[in-house]
Amino acid sequence: MIRDRNEIGDNVSIDTHSVVEHHVKIGNGVRIHSNAFVPEYTILEDGCKIGPAVVMTNVLHPFCPQSKVCLRGPHIKKGAKICANATILPGVTVGQNALVGAGSAVVSDVPDNAVVLGNPARVVKMIDNLVCPYGLVERPYGGEEK
């Protein structure tokens, strides 16, 4: 379901059973997998990837009488990748080309090119330090095929 009053770029893919609320900015080449939730006032920059069942939030204090006046969606920067079942809290920025591991709970900003995992998510390495365990590429997310 895609609500109204969104800005959606070119070459965007939004899969089955995902919800994109209103006032969302989606850049070019963004991929949103199935069952993802993208709340109001979220920004998804060019080329970012949102995995299946990712939940983003925009309310810091749910059920507070003033919650509607302080909505802040996450800001997912260019080329960032959010893996399956991750949760991103309100107002969090995920840096350019960062990778959020599956099932992680992101409670604070993620630096550019960082790999974060866990609950709460913590930086475990940088994207340039990733290796392909199957030997298919020298470096995932930038390596050439062998």
61 is catalytic: yes
Using DSSP, state whether 93 is helix, strand or coil: strand
Which one is catalytic: 17, 22, 61, 75? 61
Looking at residue 62, what DSSP letter applies?
A: T
Exposure letters 42-57 (e unless 16+ CB within 10 A, then b): bbbbebbbbbbbbbbb
- Asked if the bond preceding 120 is cis, omega within 30° of 0, the reply is yes
Which positions are annotated as active-site residues? 61
